[in-house]
Amino acid sequence: MNATIRLDLHVHSRYSVDSRLSFEQILERITYQGLQGFALTDHNTTEGLAELQRLQSSYPGFWFVPGVEISTQEGHVLAYGIRQSPPPDRPLAETLERISALGGVSVLAHPFRWIHGVGRRLATTAPVQGIEGRNGKNSELANTRAELTAARRSIACTGGSDAHEPKLVGRAFTEFSGEITSLEDVLEQIRKNTTTAEGSSLSFAGRVRSSVRDGLLRTVRGFRPVGPRAVHPDHF
């Protein structure tokens, strides 16, 4: 088909330690937002992919992309098209090599976010296929910097909500305008830099609310982190 397909490429389900989202809630919000699917990118686990595959069987008209968000020593990276997660807390370069060996596509997640982003230097040099230019939980400044970096590097710019709660699902998304008939077509458009990132940034008040929510969930899980809190002086 040649119609534009819109996918939220950054969604966390109940398989992430900091999310309570069920697959039913995600699908309901995806449909409400007029999108055609999403990528499951739980933190450091692909445990939810079996459930994602069952969802695909029940809803063949949607696109459900297997993925994972990996915590590296320098920050977070998204991997698409792989069904096992590289080990967390390893150097970014090693993680990217592992993703490539598994046949996946790597995209830097929210690179200019103060915590968990890889920072400016790696955003401009890391050998990835794309940069998340529209993140639904980022500030407009952080998203703009990411978009500009992707454009300067001539690599793919993707969009994803980074949703951990229902109301954020679909807030940011990626447009695929070429022919999509398989998961490989989705990955190939990222590799070939033919995607477009769309969606909204989060206001200051929204980011405060999100931080409070994250703090409460961190307390509930006994302050167990989702990954190293990489903070880099070269973000700006």
CATH number at residue 75: 3.20.20.140
Q: In 10 A of CB 86, how many CB atoms?
A: 21
pLDDT of residue 98: 98
**Which residues constitute the domain of residue 139?**
5-220
Q: Is there a domain that residue 228 lies in? A: no
CA distance 117 to 171: 20
Q: Is there a domain that residue 120 lies in? A: yes
Q: Is there a domain that residue 229 lies in? A: no
List the chain pLDDT tens, one digit each, 236 residues.
Answer: 457 999 999 999 999 999 999 999 999 999 999 999 999 999 999 999 999 999 999 999 999 999 999 999 999 999 999 999 999 999 999 999 999 999 999 999 999 998 899 999 999 999 999 999 999 999 999 999 999 999 999 999 999 999 999 999 999 999 998 889 999 999 999 999 999 999 999 876 665 665 655 555 455 545 455 665 555 555 55
Q: Is there a domain that residue 37 lies in? A: yes
C-alpha R_g of the chain: 16
Q: Is there a domain that residue 69 lies in? A: yes
pLDDT of residue 223: 46
Are 106 and 99 in contact by the 8 Å Cβ rule? The answer is yes
Q: Is there a domain that residue 79 lies in? A: yes
Q: Is there a domain that residue 235 lies in? A: no
Q: Is there a domain that residue 231 lies in? A: no
The helix (H) or strand (E) run that includes residue 9 is strand 5-11
Question: What is the total count of domains within the chain?
Answer: 1
Are 4 and 30 in contact by the 8 Å Cβ rule? The answer is no
CA distance 143 to 134: 5
156 three-state secondary structure: strand
CA distance 166 to 102: 31
pLDDT of residue 1: 43
